[in-house]
Amino acid sequence: MSILMKAKGLTKTYQMGEVPVYALRDVDIEIKKGEFLVFLGHSGSGKTTLLNILGGLDSATEGSLLFEETDMSELSDRQLTQFRRKNIGFIFQMYNLIPRLTARENVNLVTEISDDPMDSLEALRQVGLYERANHFPSQMSGGEQQRVAIARAIAKQPRMLFCDEPTGALDVKTGILVLDAIQKVNKTLGTTTIVISHNVSIAEMADRVVHLKDGRIERIDVNERQKTAQELEW
């Protein structure tokens, strides 16, 4: 497998008055194409910060980040936006759907600015929501909304899929459904996937599990066998 992203010495500090706060300290990581990564850690461990930096939502104070050949630290805000637009699909805990657009329109929002998008109905079919295409978010359950978000994320056929606590607001059964959808995307479309969770069980789905603590990578475990979403229990 080839390397998609390479981070070296990533550090992120905030100034809280007099005291500097280290969200990330000297992080090195390589992300392989097509792999399924899970970032584990308690709140404050730096997992969200790392995800944000890798996804171009934030920039590191120190260190280098390469996406294929591009040095991300050299990119301006506008270029980072362009980068995100083309390459990254995001899924958040709170779905973040546009409430005044239907499921299909939420997906269209993204396909209209993509170079090579999937058909929006096809994306919805992939997550099993083809019949709900014309419904508004207020008419759908939490799980369905999250799956729409996944459809929206994959519709632009991104290189990478970033998920920040995708099941955090959902019950077990719905959560599994969502994770199943994410896994399917990773397996069938080959999209490099990073999932953040504080839930250890989810890590069993991953190729590799990155454990973070106090802004550093404690260790990286490799799973010999990836469990399917249905096999998970918590």
Partner 1 sequence: MVMKKFSLLNLKLIRELSHLKLQVFSIAMVVGIGVAVLFGFTSTEESLRKSRDDFYKSAQFSDLFLRIKKAPLHAVHGLESIEGVTGVETRLEYDALLSVPDYIEPAVGHIISIPDGKQPTMNQIFLKKGRLPSALSEEEIIITEGFFKAHKFELGDIFHASLNGRKRQLKIVGVGVSPEHIFSLQPGSPLPDDFHYTVIWMNESALAASFDMRSSFNSAVLKIKPDLLVEGLIAKINQQMDRFGGVGALGRDKQTSHVYVREELKQLRVQAFSIPIVFFLVAAFILNVVISRMVRSQRGEIATLKALGFFNAEISAFYYKVAFVIIGLGSLFGLMLGAWIGSSMIELYGDFYHFPTLSYSFSIKHFFIAMGVSFLTASIGVYSSLRGIFKLSPAEAMRPPVPHMFHKGLLEGSGWVSALSTRSKMIFRGVTNFPLKALMTGLGLCFSIVILVSGLFWQDCMDFLLLAQYSFVQKETGTIRMTHALSPNSVHEVRRLPGVIEAEAYRNAGVKVRHLNQEKHSVIKGLPQNPRLTGFVNRDLVELAPPTQGIFVSEILANQLKVGEGDILEVEFLEGRKPVISLKVERILEGLMNVEILTSRKILAQILKTDDLVDQILFRSFSDSTLLYTRLKQMPNVLSVSYRDSALKFFQENSARFILVFAAILSIFAGAIGFGVAFNSMRVTLSERDWELATLQILGFTVPEVFRILLGEVIFLLILFIPFGWVLGYLNAKWLLSIMSMDSFQIPFIIDVGTYFWASVILVISTAISAWVIYRLIAQSDLVATLKSRG
**According to CB under 8 A, which one of 66, 75, 101, 121 is a site residue for partner 1?**
101
Could you tell me which stretch among 65-73, 109-117, 202-210, 212-220 binds partner 1 (CB under 8 A)? 109-117
Q: Say whether residue 81 binds partner 1 (CB under 8 A).
A: yes
CA 1 to the chain's CA centroid: 20
How many residues line the site for partner 1 (CB under 8 A)?
A: 29
Of the pair 82, 141, the CB lying nearest partner 1 is at 82
- Backbone angles phi and psi of 10, in degrees to 5: -65, 125
DSSP codes joined into one string, 92-160: -TT----TTS-HHHHHHHHHTT-SSPPPHHHHHHHTT-GGGTT--GGGS-HHHHHHHHHHHHHHT--SE
Site string for partner 1, 135-164 (x = CB under 8 A): -x-x-------------x-----------x
Could you tell me which stretch among 24-32, 38-46, 74-82, 217-225 binds partner 1 (CB under 8 A)? 74-82
Of the pair 76, 188, the CB lying nearest partner 1 is at 76
Q: Say whether residue 108 binds partner 1 (CB under 8 A).
A: yes
Quote the strand ranges of 53-135, DSSP E. 62-67, 70-71, 88-91
Read off the tokens for 40: 């584990």
**According to CB under 8 A, which one of 13, 73, 93, 199 is a site residue for partner 1?**
93
CA 63 to the chain's CA centroid: 22
**Number of Cβ within a 10 Å radius of residue 99:** 9
Residues 31 and 2: their CA atoms lie apart, in Å, by 9
Read off the tokens for 168: 């955090």
Of the pair 22, 136, the CB lying nearest partner 1 is at 136
Name the residues that contact partner 1, by CB under 8 A.
Answer: 52, 57-58, 78, 81-82, 84-86, 88, 90, 92-94, 96, 98-101, 105, 108-110, 112-113, 136, 138, 152, 164
